[in-house]
Amino acid sequence: MTDTSTASAGSVPLAPRAWPLLGHALPLLRDPLAFIMSLSGYREMVRVRLGPSSAVMICDPDLTRQVFLNDRTFDKGGPIYDRIREVIGDGLSTCAYPLHRRQRRLCQPSFHPTRLAGYGTVFARAAAAKAGSWRDGDVLDVTQEMMTLTTRATMETMFSGALPAETMQRCLADTAVIVSAFFRRMMTPALLRRLPTRQKRRYDDARTRLAATIAEIIAERRADPTDHADLLSTLVAAVDEESEDGRRQLNDAELADEALTFFLGGMETTAITLAWALHLLATNPDVQHRLKAETDQVLAGGKLDPAHLPSLGLASRVVTETLRLYPPAWMMTRVVREDAELGGVRFKGGSTIVLSPYLLHRRADLYDEPDRFDPDRWLDAQPDRRATYIPFGAGARKCIGDQFALTEAILALTAIVDRWELSPVGDQPFQPKVETSLSSRGLRLRLTERRSADPGDAEHAAAAPLSASVQPSTQPGAAACPVKHGK
Ligand code: HEM
């Protein structure tokens, strides 16, 4: 598209302090959030350089939305997705536009509300078991604990039934290696990425082992195709009725890519959301007390159940506000497939565009006191928030697991606050570790017991066979989450 009234992307102002050769790589590696926030004065867009290549960062909510909604032109791609693709191939989250709609149709049934009700039962039980495994006075490695919780819950909803503890541990360790390597690999030039360093060997080994574990699970499932009422069964059985090329089902390689996509996409993001939520509750005891009061009223001494979700309004707002302050996907990239115009600027095919929920969520002209944790700002939130609140993205590529994650996070938070009071350790403010996600790695919190464990809340309870509990609900929407994120 050529329009003489538009300017070229080269005319977009360059962010200050670009180094010769390196561009902005150093401030981006040293303190990415400070660097991103230093760009909030640019109202529409700003250019950032990484070595010889440059990308345009979109700072305006309406332009961000235009990019999300036109996924044919502003396609998945760019440095983040190139690295993620190394691990999960062309799964739903990384595939380019021509492959996307078929995959989305095949994956969508796995996240249907009727399935969510069954997953909710697993989440509630896994969370109660995790909360039941701690002792009064414990100092938790919160991120590690939330990772084991969401890994277990994701594995059980995906692959029903108890996986051997050793397999679970191996997946957890390999996932941790992979996700912590993503960001550094993304920022490292291609030549250096190929050097046979110890870190690269660890990363390659973890990647190969995790893929082999998932392939093994899929092979077992193919050999026993009965409906296990879990996510993998739905994927194996999914049929694309609109297929035009005869490929109506996912083959083994595609299944492995999707399973890895859900596994990696689902468990780390939800774990760090929960860790940040617990951090915010520990540092805001008034909100924590109100949440405990809500929990007492809703549970009334009974067991946590997905049917409680519509009554857990404050827990839901806490999760919403946590995702505003600490959106795990703090930055996303897109590649312009063909010459296009955006906000009066002409982009050439091949250009890279950067979107940042973190930047939008903390802009003072969009949110009052943007750095303050205030779950009640969502009490009467207007629909126009949709353009400025994008923790799950938007448009056709919006997170397919948003309701899955919200259901899991709200139930887990409720189960934890019901049993434990959380307080900070030390008086130093805790800072995010910026990786591909906004990581809470290293966060520690102290626990004080509010009430003792119920019989059956023990950790081993979650390892019971799950196929009985992961049954599709007969009541559509039974687990409908009180938080709805519009498109
Ligand atoms: C709090 C938790 C989560 C957050 C913050 C989150 C965030 C996101 C974001 C921002 C995107 C869009 C990325 C882009 O447009 O570039 C996305 C896509 C995706 N997410 Fe999530 N996610 C979460 C949980 C999950 C879960 C639990 C699953 C699966 C079990 C999942 C699977 C996916 C998939 C498959 C996509 C790609 C969708 C597509 O392209 O059609 N996510 N997620």
- Tell me the pLDDT band of 449, cut-offs 50, 70 and 90: very high
Q: If you take atom 9 of ligand 1, which residue's CA is the nearest one?
A: 392
Sequence-ordered strand ranges (E) for 35-108:
45-50, 53-58, 74-76
Report the separation in Å between the CA atom of 259 and the middle of ligand 1, taken as the mean of its atom positions.
13
Q: If you take atom 39 of ligand 1, which residue's CA is the nearest one?
A: 397
Angle, helices 285-299 vs 313-325, to 10°: value is: 140
Q: If you take atom 21 of ligand 1, which residue's CA is the nearest one?
A: 399
Report the separation in Å between the CA atom of 268 and the middle of ligand 1, taken as the mean of its atom positions.
11
Q: Closest ligand 1 atom to the C-alpha of 93? A: 37
Report the separation in Å between the CA atom of 402 and the middle of ligand 1, taken as the mean of its atom positions.
7
Q: If you take atom 26 of ligand 1, which residue's CA is the nearest one?
A: 266
Q: Residue 330 pLDDT > 60, yes or no?
A: yes
- Tokens 């009422």 — which residue? 229
Q: If you take atom 41 of ligand 1, which residue's CA is the nearest one?
A: 397
Q: Residue 48 pLDDT > 50, yes or no?
A: yes
Q: Closest ligand 1 atom to the C-alpha of 390? A: 10
Q: If you take atom 16 of ligand 1, which residue's CA is the nearest one?
A: 332
Q: If you take atom 1 of ligand 1, which residue's CA is the nearest one?
A: 270
Q: Closest ligand 1 atom to the C-alpha of 272? A: 1
Q: Write down the domain spans for the chain.
A: 1-89+330-363
* Residues 136 and 447 sit within 8 Å (Cβ to Cβ): yes
Report the separation in Å between the CA atom of 452 and the middle of ligand 1, taken as the mean of its atom positions.
36
Q: Tell me, what amino acid is at 134?
A: W
* Site to substitute for ligand 1 among 93, 257, 261, most atoms within 8 A of C-beta: 93
Q: Which pLDDT value is given to residue 483?
A: 31
Q: Which pLDDT value is given to residue 305?
A: 92
Higher pLDDT, 399 or 457: 399
Q: Closest ligand 1 atom to the C-alpha of 107? A: 35
pLDDT in tens, 161-212: 656 778 878 887 888 788 777 767 776 767 777 888 888 899 899 989 988 9
Q: Closest ligand 1 atom to the C-alpha of 329? A: 10
> Is residue 399 a known part of a binding site?
yes
Q: Residue 319 pLDDT > 90, yes or no?
A: yes
Q: If you take atom 20 of ligand 1, which residue's CA is the nearest one?
A: 399
Report the separation in Å between the CA atom of 92 and the middle of ligand 1, taken as the mean of its atom positions.
10
Token pair for 2: 């050529």
Give the residue-averaged pLDDT of 100-117: 91
Residues with Cβ within 8 Å of residue 28, at least 6 apart in sequence: 35, 48, 50, 187
Higher pLDDT, 288 or 15: 288
Calculate what percentage of the chain has a pLDDT beyond 90. Answer: 48
For the chain, the farthest-separated pair of C-alpha atoms sits apart, in whole angstroms, at 73
Report the separation in Å between the CA atom of 316 and the middle of ligand 1, taken as the mean of its atom positions.
18
Q: Which pLDDT value is given to residue 263?
A: 82
Q: Is the dihedral of CA 296, 299, 301, 304 positive or negative?
A: negative
Q: Which pLDDT value is given to residue 464?
A: 39
Q: If you take atom 37 of ligand 1, which residue's CA is the nearest one?
A: 93
Q: Which pLDDT value is given to residue 459?
A: 46
Give the residue-averaged pLDDT of 131-147: 95
What distances in angstroms separate CA 184 from CA 28, 349, 479, one per listed residue? 11, 26, 38
Q: Residue 223 pLDDT > 50, yes or no?
A: yes
* Site to substitute for ligand 1 among 67, 151, 182, 399, most atoms within 8 A of C-beta: 399
pLDDT in tens, 384-420: 666 799 999 999 999 999 999 999 999 999 999 999 9
Q: Coil, helix or strand for 22?
A: coil
Give the residue-averaged pLDDT of 338-362: 95
Q: Closest ligand 1 atom to the C-alpha of 80? A: 16
Range ranked top by mean pLDDT from 40-44, 258-262, 341-345, 438-442: 341-345
pLDDT in tens, 344-355: 999 999 999 999
* Residues 91 and 260 sit within 8 Å (Cβ to Cβ): yes
The per-residue pLDDT of the chain, averaged, comes to 85
Q: Tell me, what amino acid is at 190?
A: A
Report the separation in Å between the CA atom of 126 and the middle of ligand 1, taken as the mean of its atom positions.
21
Calculate what percentage of the chain has a pLDDT beyond 70. Answer: 89
Q: Please tell me the distance from the alpha carbon of residue 473 to that of residue 189, in angstroms, as a whole number.
A: 49
Strands 438-439 and 45-50: unpaired
Report the separation in Å between the CA atom of 58 and the middle of ligand 1, taken as the mean of its atom positions.
20
Distance linking the first and last C-alpha atoms of the chain: 27
Length of the chain: 487
Report the separation in Å between the CA atom of 197 and the middle of ligand 1, taken as the mean of its atom positions.
31
Give the residue-averaged pLDDT of 273-300: 97
CATH of 1-89+330-363, one of 2.40.170.20, 3.40.50.10860, 3.40.50.720, 3.30.43.20: 3.30.43.20
Q: Which pLDDT value is given to residue 74?
A: 97
Report the separation in Å between the CA atom of 90 and the middle of ligand 1, taken as the mean of its atom positions.
15
Q: If you take atom 8 of ligand 1, which residue's CA is the nearest one?
A: 392
Q: Closest ligand 1 atom to the C-alpha of 258? A: 35
Report the separation in Å between the CA atom of 209 and the middle of ligand 1, taken as the mean of its atom positions.
23
Which residues have any ligand 1 atom within 6 Å of their CB? 92-93, 104, 261-262, 265-266, 269-270, 273, 328-329, 332, 391-393, 397, 399-401, 404-405
Q: If you take atom 10 of ligand 1, which residue's CA is the nearest one?
A: 392
Q: Closest ligand 1 atom to the C-alpha of 328? A: 5
